[in-house]
Structures are given as C-alpha cells and as structure tokens.
Amino acid sequence: MNSHTPQSNPPSFNDLPKYVRVRSAPDAKFVMFDFAIGDSSLFVELVLPPASFAAFCVNNNVITMTVEQMHFNDEEEDKWRYGTKSTLVGNNHSEARSS
C-alpha cells in the first residue's frame, strides 16, 4: 500500500488518511471502535464516551472504513484466531458461521 517512490517525499502525518470502524451499538454508553492511520488493516481498538468519540473524529478528520476494508480485516482476524489451514477449531468455526 506504499504509493510513494524512493525519490518522493513520504506524506506528512496530517496528510495520511485516518480510518474508524465502530464496533459498538449506536445507543451504547461507550463507543468501541478501531482506529487506523494510513493503512486500514493496521489498527488499534479504542473506547471513548460518545461525545469524546465525536470530537476525536472531527479532530482527526476520519474516514469510515469501507465494507471491503472491514471484510478484509475480519478475514485477517479469523486467520490469526483460527489459522489458515483446516483444523478442528477452524472447521467448527466455519460450521458455526454457516448455520
């Protein structure tokens, strides 16, 4: 995902896109969310009160992750959790998801 060439200057921190993915329910007491800078697949999980989350989003000029980015992150998380090869745990997980 590195779009700059060795001869060009890398983008400044403020120019990098900042992504969020909200994971909590809309009426939750706290907003649980993923936050990424520059690469939507490299994120941290954060929790803030709703008013603080709104201010955080404005201050960081965030972009909501696309469905494709969220799907990719979910698949990567499954690989870490269940492995990439077919295993008993992986098979049980796949069967549970399909039912």
Residue 55, CA distances (Å) to 47, 59, 62, 88 in order? 13, 6, 11, 45
Q: 88 or 29, which is more confident?
A: 29
Residue 40 pLDDT greater than 90, yes or no: yes
Contacts 24+ apart (CB under 8 A), 41-50: 41/69, 41/72, 41/73, 41/76, 43/19, 43/73
Q: Is 39 helix (H, G, I), strand (E, B) or coil?
A: coil
- As to burial, measured by CB atoms within 10 angstroms (0-12 exposed, 13-18 middle, 19+ buried), residue 31 is buried
Predicted local confidence at residue 30, as pLDDT: 99
Of the listed ranges 1-5, 39-43, 52-56, the one predicted with least confidence = 1-5
Average pLDDT, the chain: 86
Contacts 24+ apart (CB under 8 A), 75-79: 76/41
Residue 55 pLDDT greater than 70, yes or no: yes
pLDDT band at 79 (very low <50, low <70, confident <90, very high): confident
Instruction: Give Cα 66 to chain centroid, integer Å.
Output: 10
